[in-house]
Amino acid sequence: MLEYVASCPRNFEKLSNDNDTKWNKVMPNATELFEVRFSFAKVNHMTSLFDIKFENGLMEIPSIDVVDSIETLLQNFIAYEQQSIDLQYLYFSDYAIFMDQLINSDKDVSLLRRKRIIANWIGDHKKVASLFNKIRNEVTAYSNFYFKEVFTKAIKHCDEKPWNRMRESLKHNYFSSPWVGASTMTAITLLILTAIQTILAITSALK
């Protein structure tokens, strides 16, 4: 983690009042993004923990080793930033917000582990998800949110592909397993047969 700090972008201009506005946009979690054809990749030549980029459906994120001490270390950096008044960007605080939105459950951790973005050394994926959700507590994003561009591009990319979202939503809700899929198809078939029967009855009555 210390190498991340050493390579952290430096900008210590005093915050202006323009940066006091809260940033309230919400980005879908990793699983939801993956379902609408997002790709994830580990940054190969990382210069800092904050080198997160998104272009043309590909989100590149530096890898992070999740070890026993990571929670305390991140919380200490966040506490320092929250008490400082001369930082233009709250790097660790904004990183905590980004990871909290990206990771909502153990499924998101599992996905990011497969993509070699997270190295889980504490065993349980649920613990990793809980860790990132916990460190974001009491942290607020402001208009100078460091990952604003990544959020904006990701949200726009989702909005431009409504069919993908609809298709994956149907797949998730109605075809998540063979049994659920079979039940869905049975219900659809019965609905179609009922509709045909109704049409035939109406046609017969009109004749």
pLDDT digit string, tens, across residues 133-151: 999 988 988 888 999 999 9
The reply to whether 19 and 44 lie within a common domain is yes
State whether 70 and 136 are in the same domain: yes
User: What's the pLDDT at 69?
Assistant: 93
Query: Both 200 and 142 in a single domain?
Result: no
Which pLDDT band holds residue 155 (cuts at 50, 70, 90)? confident
Residue 19 maps to a domain: yes
Mean pLDDT of the region 155-181: 60
The pLDDT, as a whole number, for residue 191 is 79
Residue 175 inside a domain? The answer is: no
Residues 120 and 46 in one domain: yes
Domain identity same for 192 and 121: no
Q: Are residues 198 and 121 located together in one domain of the fold?
A: no
- For residues 42 and 130, membership in a common domain is answered with yes
| pLDDT category of residue 177 using cuts at 50, 70 and 90 | low
Q: Is 50 exposed, middle or buried (0-12, 13-18, 19+ CB in 10 A)?
A: buried
Is 174 inside any structural domain? Answer: no
Same domain, 103 and 60: yes
Q: Looking at the predicted structure, is the pLDDT value of residue 170 above 50?
A: no
More confident residue, 128 or 7: 128
Report phi then psi at 200, rounded to 5: -65, -40
Cα gap 198→192, rounded to integer Å: 10
Q: Are residues 72 and 106 in the same domain?
A: yes
- Looking at the fold, whether 14 and 82 belong to one and the same domain comes out as yes
Nearest to 48 by CA among 37, 61, 30, 35: 61
Please tell me the distance from the alpha carbon of residue 185 to that of residue 109, in angstroms, as a whole number. 32
- Average pLDDT in the 37-50 region? 88
Residue 77 has pLDDT above 70, yes or no: yes
Domain-embedded: residue 173: no
Lowest-confidence range among 11-15, 103-107, 157-161?
Answer: 11-15
Question: E strand or H helix at 40, and its extent?
Answer: strand 39-42
Domain count along the chain:
2
Q: Are residues 134 and 55 in the same domain?
A: yes
Give the predicted TM-score (pTM) of the model.
Answer: 0.73
119: β partners: 65
**What pLDDT does residue 16 have?**
43
The reply to whether 105 falls in a domain is yes
Residue 159: inside a domain: yes
Domain of 88, in residue numbers: 2-164
Shared-domain flag, residues 202 and 119? no
Asked whether 53 and 151 are in contact (CB, 8 A), the reply is: no
Question: Per the domain annotation, does 170 fall within a domain?
Answer: no
